[in-house]
Structure 1
């Protein structure tokens, strides 16, 4: 029998979180401002969600749209926010920054990873914007807490990225590929059979959990359809 797949759902507030958990989500990614593709939520929002659900929560660390950290002061603020969120009980995070050449911003990512002091974290879809995915993985390999890559295989989404996702799934367990492959970004139910066959065991949805769009809350029945398809 195949391993139960992880289903991660984006949540903006406690109502989203409750619906996602009721639908069968295994984990939530907490963000604010999806118009900017997801920024750091407030400590108050984290507390509200943490008190509303029991599933693990991964909290976004990102202050502006795009994949540049935004300068030394912005990095200082991110470190402060991470500390405040940890003090409120956050144990898992999401982050990822690129330098001007599109490679990993090692200084920023390393500083945040060290500030998290071993908390588990996901390197998000910045990997889909780098010119050399394998080089990025090699550069980040061994950073404390990094256990997941969120990727569509392409900046254009899973439709374009399927060949890359299959190839990376085939490399799982080898140096640079020991982290879990979490697939998200234009992911649709019809992608699941090919991805499961390739060995992918973790899936991330945002808009797919909101049939009425981002102005509407997460729909528990929509999440349940994904849970059923994965099981």
Structure 2
């Protein structure tokens, strides 16, 4: 394929960010506390990473483990602080108790983001109805990406769903880019590329020592090479 695939890497700090950029990452997802599956970093952490690299940064908006919005007003305040610090791209996603999208929480944050681009993250993989979620989010300002494994258990389980959703690209509710992440391995890349998917997200795969160690530029470069070969 001629389209260069987007490679997004999770970064916890400036050291991660520098290594990811050196390895060929196109974009970073900034989080803290991976024990809780990635929460919102401080504005100071964002500023330090922003000063260290020049590739796009998407900042997680999430206060607690799970997919409930928790304290929406507190999160809206934090989003405002990040905006004031220069953040321009974000990641968010909330479900209600029934597994539907928490549209009120999403709209509250989107209002603070004022048109910034954002990703709806893997909450979609826990939704009761993926298509209904997409339809309800249709037209939300700035929404340009769904980060998904296709299934709660990861890409191994979700590959058929990802391929089927990619085939619907451009249809109502399916205009956004699919970015695949969650148990993603290099051997998943060829079938996903064949399906027309051109965005990939890695976390632990970019860390030779696992989450206890930093991002490795060589590990990221290995992914970059496979994506470019596709």
Q: TM-score range by the shorter chain?
A: over 0.9
Question: How far 1:18 sits from its partner (Å)?
Answer: 0.1
How far apart are the structure 1 equivalents of 2:111 and 2:2?
A: 35
Superposed, 1:60-71 pairs within 5 Å as: 60-70=60-70
Q: Which of residues 151, 154, 162 in structure 2 aligns to 1:154?
A: 151
Structural RMSD (CA): 0.5
Q: SS at 2:9's partner residue?
A: strand
Q: Which of residues 154, 165, 187 in structure 1 aligns to 2:184?
A: 187
Q: Does 1:45 align with 2:45?
A: yes
Question: How far 1:2 sits from its partner (Å)?
Answer: 2.1
Q: Does 1:143 align with 2:140?
A: yes
Question: How far 1:114 sits from its partner (Å)?
Answer: 1.2
Q: SS at 1:81's partner residue?
A: helix
**What does residue 4 of structure 1 align with?**
4
Q: SS at 2:100's partner residue?
A: coil
Q: Does 1:218 align with 2:212?
A: no
**What does residue 115 of structure 2 align with?**
118
Would you say how many aligned residue pairs link Structure 1 and Structure 2?
Answer: 228
Superposed, 1:103-114 pairs within 5 Å as: 103-114=100-111
**What does residue 91 of structure 1 align with?**
88
Uncovered stretches (5+) of structure 1, i.e. residues with no partner: none
Question: How far 1:211 sits from its partner (Å)?
Answer: 1.8
Task: Provide runs of 4+ in structure 1 moved above 6 Å.
Answer: none
**What does residue 196 of structure 1 align with?**
193
Q: SS at 2:212's partner residue?
A: coil
Q: Does 1:177 align with 2:174?
A: yes
How far apart are the structure 2 equivalents of 1:46 and 1:33?
A: 14
How far apart are the structure 2 equivalents of 1:115 and 1:45?
A: 20
How far apart are the structure 2 equivalents of 1:14 and 1:4?
A: 25
Question: How far 1:9 sits from its partner (Å)?
Answer: 0.1
Task: Render the CA deviation track for 1:156-176: whole Å, top value 9, x for unaligned.
Answer: 000000000000100111110
In the superposition, the TM-score normalised over structure 1's length comes to 0.98
How far apart are the structure 2 equivalents of 1:88 and 1:137?
A: 30
**What does residue 36 of structure 2 align with?**
36
Task: Render the CA deviation track for 1:163-202: whole Å, top value 9, x for unaligned.
Answer: 0000010011111000010000000000000000000000
Q: SS at 1:214's partner residue?
A: helix
In the superposition, the TM-score normalised over structure 2's length comes to 0.98
Question: How far 1:115 sits from its partner (Å)?
Answer: 1.2
**What does residue 55 of structure 1 align with?**
55
Uncovered stretches (5+) of structure 2, i.e. residues with no partner: none
How far apart are the structure 1 equivalents of 2:73 and 2:107?
A: 13
